[in-house]
Amino acid sequence: MKVRFAVSVGSGPPDAGRLGAAVEEVERRGFDTVWMSDVPSVPSTDPSLGLAFIAARTERVRLGANFIPFGTQPYLLAHRLAQLDRLTGGRLLVTFVPGLDLPGEREALGTAGSHRGRMMEELIPKLRRLWADGLPVRPVQAPLEIWLGGAGPDAIARAGRVSDGWLGSQVSPKRAGEIRQAIQDEAARAGRTIDPEHFGLSLGYARRSEDIETAARIRLRRPRPENDADITELVPVGAARLRRLIGQLVDNGLSKFVVRPIARVEPDSWPEEVGWLADTVLDLQT
pLDDT of residue 172: 95
pLDDT of residue 221: 46
| CA distance to 116, 172, 174, 246, per residue, from 202 (Å) | 21, 12, 15, 11
Which CATH number do you get for residue 125?
3.20.20.30
The terminus-to-terminus CA distance of the chain in angstroms comes to 8
Full residue range of the structural domain in which residue 119 is found = 4-284
pLDDT of residue 79: 97
In the DSSP assignment, the letter for residue 4 is E
3-state secondary structure of 71: coil
Q: Do 127 and 77 contact (CB within 8 A), yes or no?
A: yes
pLDDT of residue 104: 72
CA distance 17 to 173: 36
Instruction: Classify 254 in phi/psi space as left (phi over 0), alpha (psi -120 to 50) or beta.
Output: beta
| CA distance to 69, 153, 207, per residue, from 55 (Å) | 21, 36, 29
Q: Do 36 and 50 contact (CB within 8 A), yes or no?
A: yes
3-state secondary structure of 257: strand
Q: Which helix (H) or strand (E) holds 33?
A: strand 33-37
Which residues in the chain land under pLDDT 70? 10, 101-102, 110, 112-113, 214-230
Which of 176, 265, 253, 256 lies closest to 6 in space, CA to CA? 256
pLDDT of residue 214: 61
3-state secondary structure of 2: coil
Measured torsion, CA atoms of residues 106, 112, 113, 118, in degrees rounded to the nearest 10: -60
CA distance 188 to 218: 35
CB atoms within 10 A of CB 186: 18
- Burial tier of 254 (Cβ tally within 10 Å: 0-12, 13-18, 19+): buried
Which of 58, 265, 261, 250 lies closest to 173 in space, CA to CA? 250
- DSSP strands (E only) in 25-152: 33-37, 62-67, 92-96, 146-148
CA distance 42 to 50: 15
Total-model pTM: 0.91
Count the domains in the chain.
Answer: 1
CB atoms within 10 A of CB 268: 10
Q: Do 173 and 203 contact (CB within 8 A), yes or no?
A: no
3-state secondary structure of 39: coil
* 65 backbone dihedrals φ, ψ, rounded to 5°: -160, 150
